[in-house]
A and B are shown apart, each in its own frame.
Chain A
Amino acid sequence: MTTEELKAFEDEIYAYVGREVCPPTPAKDDVNVAMIRQWAEIIGDTNPAYTDADWAANSARGHTIAPPAMMYVWGQEGFAVTTGRAPDAQSDLVSLFNEHGYTGVLGTNVKQEYFKEVSPGDNVVMEMTIDNISERKTTGRGPGYFFETLATFSNQHGEKIGTQRFKVLKFIPQEQPAAVASEETLQVPTRIPSPRGHDNKWWWEACDAGKVLIQRCKSCQTLRHPPRPMCGKCQSMEWDSIESTLEGEILSHTQLHHPKIPGYQYPLVCAVIKLSEGTNFVANIVGCEPSDIHIGMKVKGAVEQVDEKTMLPQFYPA
C-alpha cells in the first residue's frame, strides 16, 4: 500500500468515528427473574440481591435487582443472530478492514460503568456508536487499528443506567510462531508437578481430593512429613495417616522474584510452616501483602485449584 493509498484508506475508516451502530432500541424482553437466575448460576454469582426474593424483600431495596454486568445481555439477539444480521456501521467498518487485509480480529478489552440499577419488570434500551479508532499501531499480532464502540444503556424512563466500551483490534495477521496458528493447541503453562512414585503418590492423590494428610507410623505413632517408606524412629514400615487441620505458624518465608517461572503467579511467597500437628510443611502464603508476612505469623490453609491441572495447599493469614 502506497502512502497515498494508506491515506485514502485511513480517511475512509476515520469517517466511521461517531457513526451510529444502532439507534436506541428497547430489549425484546423485559428484565426477568429467569434470565437473571440462569446468568447468576453460570457465572457462579450467589449474591442473594439477584436471586433470593425473600432475602431481597427484607433488604433496603425491598426487591431483587439484575446483576449490573448483565446490562449488555438484555439486548442480545439470541438464536436469530445465526441467520445473519442486518448490516450496520460496525459490520461495514469490519468489512472495510477485511477488504484491505486487516482480517485478524482480537477483542482486547471491555469496560463497563454503572449508574443506576434495574429490576425485574424494567426494560433496558441500548444505543451504540463507534466512539474512536486509533492511529495505525504495530502490535505483536501484526499491524492494525484499535476501534472502540460505546454502548449506552437506559431504562424505560429514559434514565441512563450504564455504558460499555468494547475495544477491538483489527490487524494484518503476520506469520506467527506455531502457537498462534491453532488456538486449540495453545497450552497455558501450569505449575511443575511433583513426580509421583510409590512413596508419595497416595499423598498427592489425597491432595487432588482436597486433603492434606500426614503420614503416621502405626507402630510408634510418630508423624512424618515428607512421607518415607520407613519410620526413622522405630524402623516400622507399617503406616497410616491423619488429616491435617492446616492450622500453623510461619517458621520462615521468602518471596520469589527472579527468575519468574512460567505457570506460576507472582507475587509468589513460599514459607516453611509448623503445622499444629507438629510436622513442618512447605507451601505458598496468599491472601495478604508479601510485606506483611513474618516469622511467627499464624496461618490457616486450604487445598485449592491453583491452575488448570494443579490442586495445592495455600495458606492465608489466620
Chain B
Amino acid sequence: MVANVKDKAVIVGIGNTTFSKDSGVSELSLAVQAIKAAIDDAGLKPSDIDGMATFTMDTNDEIEVARALGVGELTFYGRSHYGGGAATSCLHQATMAIATGMAETVVVYRALNGRSGHRFSGGVAGDITTADAIHWGWYMPYGLLTPASWVAMFTQRWMHNTGVTKDALFEVAHSTRVYGANNPAAFFYGREFDRAEYDAARMIADPLQLFDCCQESDGGSAVIVTTPERARDLRQPGVSVRGVAQCAAEDQEQMTSFYREEFAGIPEMETSAKNVYAMSGLSADDIDAAVIYDAFSPIVLWQLEAWGFCGFGESGDFVKDGALRTDGRLPTNTHGGQLSEAYIHGVNGIVEATRLVRGSSVNQPAKTVNHALVTSGVGIPTGGAILGKMD
C-alpha cells in the first residue's frame, strides 16, 4: 500500500545563502541565513515556523537554530539519515508532519561548511565503534574510503554491464555545467568547459575524473513547507508536493551495497520512483523537468533509468540525444546541479525544482513546467519527490 499525501503539503518559500569555498562563518550562521531567506520569500515570520526537518551528520541542532532565528515553539522535529540520501527525505518528513497535523509550517534545511570544514571527500576514518563504523571497516583498510571510490566501483560494473561509455558521463557533466555557467550563484558561473578539459582532468578513482565529481561547498539551503490552506494566503505561487517517498532496499549498505546478486543498480530508487508515481497518479511522461541528484555524473544516468525515462542501459543514448539540455526532453539540473552550482546535499536541488515549477529558474525552459522531479543521493537509502503547481 502506498500512503497518500498527494497535495497535502506545499512549498511556499525557498532560500539559499551565498555558496563559497570558505564561508568564514559557522554552519549555524549559514542555516539561519538560508532559513531567513526562505521565510522572507514566503512572506512569513520566524514565529510561524513550528516544525523542522534536517539531516544527520549535521551540527545545526534544531533548538539552536530555533533560538537563533527567534522561532517560538516547535511541535515537530525529525531528522533523516544518510547524507545526500536525506534531501527529499526531509521533505518527506515535513510532508508527513503537515499532512497529519503534527505541524503547520515546517522548514527543511541543510547548511554546512563542506569545503572549509569537514570535507566528505576526505572519506571515513571510523573513530567510534558503531555498527556504521564497523561497516566502513570492511573498506577502510584497503583504501576504499572516499565517496568517489565507492561510486566508481558501481560505475565500473554498470558500464561493463550496459556498454555505456564516458561519452554519456561527459554529456551529463557538460550539460550541467552549461547551465551553471549561466547561473550567477554557481561556482561555474561564466566558466568555459569542453571535452578536452574533461578528458585532461586528473583521475580520481577509475573511471571517475575530476569533472565527474561535484563541488565541495560551504553554504545553506532551505525550503518552507505548509498546508494548502495557508499556502493560498501567501505571496508566492504554491508548489505542491504531488508525491514523495523514501526507501532503503534489501541488503542495503551505506554507499557499499556490494553484496547483492547484481550490485550495478539502485533498487532503493526504483522503489521510491514506483511509490511516488503511484501516490501522484503521474508517470515519467508527465515530468517536464528535473533536478536529479548529481554528486557524480554517472548517478544521474542510473536515476533516469530508475524513474523510467528510459530502459536499463539506455540512459547513455537518452542523454547523448540532448535530453538534459534546455530544449531537450527533460531539462535537468538547470541551476548547474551539484556538479557546478554547489553541493548542499540536494536541498539546493529542492530550491531549484521549486523554481522550475514557479517558472523562475535562471535557465527556465521555454516549455511550461507543470511537474518537476527532484531526487536524493544514491548508493544510500534514498528517495524523490514530484512537485507541481498548486491547484
Contacts and interface: CB of A to CB of B under 8 A. Distances in A.
Chain A: interface size category: 35 or more
Interface string B254-295: 001011000110000000000000000000000000000000
Interface in B94-153: 121-123, 125-129, 131, 133-146, 149, 152-153
A105 interface: no
B144 A195 contact: no
B283 to A, nearest CB: 32
Contacts of A290: 206
Interface in B290-342: none
A54 B263 CA distance: 56
A295 B145 contact: no
B164 to A, nearest CB: 14
B202 interface: yes
B74 interface: no
B142 A270 contact: yes
A254 B205 contact: yes
Given A195-B133, A197-B134, A199-B131, A259 B122 contact: yes
Contacts of B154: 252
A132 interface: no
Given A255-B205, A255-B206, A270-B143, A295 B137 contact: no
Contacts of B138: 194, 226, 282
Given A191-B143, A195-B128, A295 B157 contact: yes
Contacts of A258: 202-205
Interface string B148-182: 01001110110010000000000000000000000
A268 B122 CA distance: 17
Nearest to A283: B142
A310 interface: yes
B141 A253 contact: no
A251 interface: yes
Interface residues of B, number: 42
A66 B131 CA distance: 56
Contact of B263 (A195, A251, A284): A251
Contacts of A253: 153, 156, 206
Interface in A263-296: 264, 268, 270, 272, 279-280, 282-284, 290, 295
A290 to B, nearest CB: 8
Nearest to A272: B258
Given A251-B157, A251-B263, A280-B258, A270 B125 contact: no
A257 B205 contact: yes
B143 A261 contact: yes
A110 interface: no
Given A192-B125, A252-B156, A270 B144 contact: yes
A257 B206 contact: yes
A204 B19 CA distance: 43
B142 A193 contact: no
A261 B202 contact: no
A256 B143 contact: yes
A312 B263 contact: no
Contact of A195 (B129, B146, B156, B207): B129
B134 A254 contact: no
Contact of B202 (A204, A257, A284, A295): A257
Contacts of A284: 142-143
B160 A195 contact: no
Given A258-B202, A259-B122, A272-B258, A192 B153 contact: no
B179 to A, nearest CB: 26
A278 B135 CA distance: 20
Nearest to B210: A258
A32 B154 CA distance: 59
A282 B258 CA distance: 8
Nearest to A229: B131
Given A195-B129, A252-B153, A312-B142, A225 B122 contact: no
Interface in A227-267: 232, 251-259, 261, 264
A274 B256 CA distance: 15
Interface in A167-221: 191-197, 199-200, 204
Choose among B121, B136, B141, B149 the residue with the greatest number of A CB atoms under 10 Å from its CB.
B141
Contacts of A310: 141
A195 B127 CA distance: 7
Contacts of B139: 270, 282
A270 B129 contact: no
B203 A257 contact: yes
A225 B206 CA distance: 25
Given A256-B143, A310-B141, 14 more contacts: A192-B140, A195-B133, A197-B129, A226-B138, A252-B153, A252-B160, A253-B156, A257-B206, A259-B146, A268-B143, A270-B143, A282-B138, A295-B156, A295-B160
16 contacts: A191-B143, A193-B137, A194-B126, A195-B126, A195-B127, A195-B134, A204-B137, A252-B156, A254-B149, A258-B202, A270-B143, A270-B153, A272-B157, A272-B258, A282-B139, A310-B141
Interface of B: 121-123, 125-129, 131, 133-146, 149, 152-154, 156-157, 160, 202-207, 251, 256, 258-259, 263-264
